[in-house]
Chains A and B, each alone.
Chain A
């Protein structure tokens, strides 16, 4: 690897580390200014003073805040996220348990976003200002503007209650046992274990939340891709290619699309980061047992360690996604390595 790239990499990773520390400070401060008493929460609604004080000692909440913060950072350094006050369980273990479901949902949503968004983007660029372009524009604007919560309920109403084609919520039917985990991604595990009926059922459960989650992402991929394609199709080398008699199919899909993909890649990375944070809404509507739902139920209960853990994971995911995009840019565009 050349020196420029190494330096670039080091700088980006250093910056990400700094941002992570900032995030840790921020989540800690926010969860501690909230005017609720976590010890009282841990002890339960009818608990007397002695029980509340016992809970306070047990969770180290009697220590001064700076000491609590140092402990928390120390725990994080060892990969520990602290203990949930509502359950007494380790937040790290809980995150490991719920993260695969969220990842699975996000991956599928992203696949839908890319596989539908990119071709539609190309199509509307090629047929610019035609009827298809107008339809996809309306589609894209509503995708970005529609609140996922409401859209989710609407789809449930239509496909689960009304038509009865798909189940309302959850990850699998109550009587079906999930396949023994290999990757933790249930659909993948079902395939690996050859449990096709579980795969089919899992698909019927994931499809609605995945569509809801993918919609804003699909919309922005579509718009960015369209914009770039319109630009690229105007470029001189495309005209030259056309003059050389390159087939339109080859010209659009190979020459133009490859160049238009760079900004699209950036938006995909950004959207991947966004997506994980919007699981909070989508998972609540569909009772999808991922980290978003975990964060919401903990927040409602005033249990902050899980919320901080999820915030860190989501933030970390965001940073990694933008880091990868940055790096890819660095690889693809040598000019940026010096910048």
Chain B
């Protein structure tokens, strides 16, 4: 009888609510432990040639291998699928020598043809990572010389080349071709399926809720913690709200979480068995001026604002877990210099610059836009508002969705006077940041200033083609000084990256070049 069933269901629910759940145990898969990682961001597309962001790339890096890999802090590029590579003196030809034992998950070897196919696929799809190399690398200039040698010939010398190679993951050509539909290069299938050689392989994929990875038995590169201790797998579980995510860590439903704020540190640190990883990051925060239209087109006003701003507030807002920028480049980037005279709060100087501007007595209102729902940039906006009172300039703080903000910033006549922007450089090469100030970056989110200085643009173009490291770095030093002089933005701070985990989680290795929440899962294990 349905009536009985309903009653039984309700009674069952009540009984369940009254009975405390059993004591905590590790998630296990057979004899091996499974580590559960939780963050707020979905993984919409797994295809490594289609898309990347922190959560997506964390899974991609687990399922796929690149020719080279970023590890450590400061980040280093180490050989991976390629044992070594040679560069021709003119900087045009790169030859990679592949490891002999590398195998895809189906057992077929990762050979030169697979590498050629993968780079060609990424270039043809012209999405995701393609922008990194597409102006310098043509598909027909990638040659599989023999089974273990691949040669890339660039269109022009491009020194940052090697710094991008670690993000070009190698896919299994046979698997991709077998799942190709209407010449889509396997795109549809690759959205939710893996075709890699990496330390993990897909078991379950629901990009909106949960991704279950199994360790690949007999991974060709071996395991740093040894076969004995290696995990049985990793689960990435998406918990969107921060309170339930922290609760899940406390309850040991998950072993490691990201997307925590500096305010959470104190609270989480007090929990028994919980530790914090707190590391200087790589993501720069700046307040970009509209240098083309409106009052901020005047460099004197920009300087006045930069000298009036209370930089200490950036550190306070992050509970000390942040470092002020001393250049447009983050500190761990190659070629970074401490630019002398980078503005710090100095009201006398601020007033002096203001008197030289078109608004010697202030009396204007400027718009400050931040991403809706982000607390830190909103609070920074309040600090700015407070600072600019001294110049009789008022600030209108506006939160907008990311997509709206980017759209507005793509043209000088719609770009806000000031926009708060976080940028994570995708590689350690200084060109990655310098190029944000090039004419070619206008219209992109980090090009919102529409920075206009043809001399600097020329230096940026020259530097990326320069093969002599010493000369290159000298150019970047000058570029940093010149950009600071022009003050296209308030150079803000680099916030620390934060994770919280149970103390039995081992092998966590921070590398600033990874994105905000991204973790290299390969060296991790659980002890206990």
B444 A88 Cβ-Cβ under 8 A: no
Q: Does A160 count as interface, using CB distance less than 8 angstroms?
A: yes
Do A289 and B188 contact each other (CB < 8 Å), given the known contacts A50-B126, A164-B21, A297-B42? Answer: no
1/0 per residue, CB under 8 A from A, across B154-196: the answer is 0000000000000000000000000000000001100100000
Do A174 and B251 contact each other (CB < 8 Å), given the known contacts A37-B403, A37-B407, A46-B131? Answer: no
In chain B, what residue has the closest Cβ to A200?
Answer: B16
Q: Does B309 count as interface, using CB distance less than 8 angstroms?
A: no
Whole-angstrom CA separation of A51 from B130 in the bound complex: 9
Q: Does B127 count as interface, using CB distance less than 8 angstroms?
A: yes
Question: A287's contact among B27, B204, B244, by CB below 8 Å, is which?
Answer: B244
A203 B127 Cβ-Cβ under 8 A: no
Do A165 and B17 contact each other (CB < 8 Å), given the known contacts A35-B404, A49-B443, A157-B243? Answer: yes
Q: Using C-beta atoms within 8 Å of the partner chain, give the interface range for chain B.
A: 35 or more
Whole-angstrom CA separation of A207 from B50 in the bound complex: 38
Q: Does A331 count as interface, using CB distance less than 8 angstroms?
A: no
Within 8 A of A (CB), among B15-48: 16-21, 27-29, 34, 36, 42, 44-45
Which segment, of B6-14, B144-152, B461-469, faces chain A?
A: B6-14
Most buried by A among B36, B132, B239, B247: B247
Q: Does A45 count as interface, using CB distance less than 8 angstroms?
A: yes
In chain B, what residue has the closest Cβ to A196?
Answer: B12
Whole-angstrom CA separation of A15 from B455 in the bound complex: 66
Q: Does B303 count as interface, using CB distance less than 8 angstroms?
A: no
Whole-angstrom CA separation of A156 from B16 in the bound complex: 16
Most buried by A among B204, B401, B426: B401
Minimum distance in angstroms from A313 CB to a CB of chain B: 16
Residues of B contacting A51 in the complex (Cβ-Cβ under 8 angstroms):
126-127, 130-131
Q: Does B396 count as interface, using CB distance less than 8 angstroms?
A: no
A207 B131 Cβ-Cβ under 8 A: no
Whole-angstrom CA separation of A326 from B74 in the bound complex: 68
B17 A284 Cβ-Cβ under 8 A: no
Residues of B contacting A173 in the complex (Cβ-Cβ under 8 angstroms):
253
Minimum distance in angstroms from A102 CB to a CB of chain B: 13
B36 A174 Cβ-Cβ under 8 A: yes
B401 A46 Cβ-Cβ under 8 A: no
Minimum distance in angstroms from B406 CB to a CB of chain A: 7
In chain A, what residue has the closest Cβ to B187?
Answer: A88
A166 B17 Cβ-Cβ under 8 A: yes
Question: A48's contact among B19, B28, B440, by CB below 8 Å, is which?
Answer: B440
1/0 per residue, CB under 8 A from B, across A46-64: the answer is 1111110011000000000
Within 8 A of A (CB), among B404-447: 404, 406-408, 410, 426, 440, 443-445
Whole-angstrom CA separation of A159 from B42 in the bound complex: 26
Residues of B contacting A77 in the complex (Cβ-Cβ under 8 angstroms):
none
Q: Does A87 count as interface, using CB distance less than 8 angstroms?
A: yes
Q: Does B207 count as interface, using CB distance less than 8 angstroms?
A: yes
Minimum distance in angstroms from B197 CB to a CB of chain A: 24
A45 B44 Cβ-Cβ under 8 A: no
Q: Does A170 count as interface, using CB distance less than 8 angstroms?
A: yes
Do A86 and B45 contact each other (CB < 8 Å), given the known contacts A36-B404, A287-B239? Answer: yes
A selection of 21 A-B contacts at a CB cut-off of 8 Å is A34-B403, A35-B407, A36-B404, A41-B403, A46-B131, A51-B130, A159-B17, A160-B244, A160-B251, A165-B20, A167-B251, A168-B248, A171-B209, A174-B27, A174-B34, A174-B235, A175-B28, A175-B34, A175-B235, A293-B208, A302-B402
Besides A48-B440, A156-B247, A289-B209, 14 other A-B contacts (C-beta < 8 A)? A34-B403, A36-B401, A40-B406, A40-B410, A43-B127, A44-B128, A45-B444, A165-B19, A174-B237, A200-B12, A207-B16, A287-B209, A287-B240, A289-B208
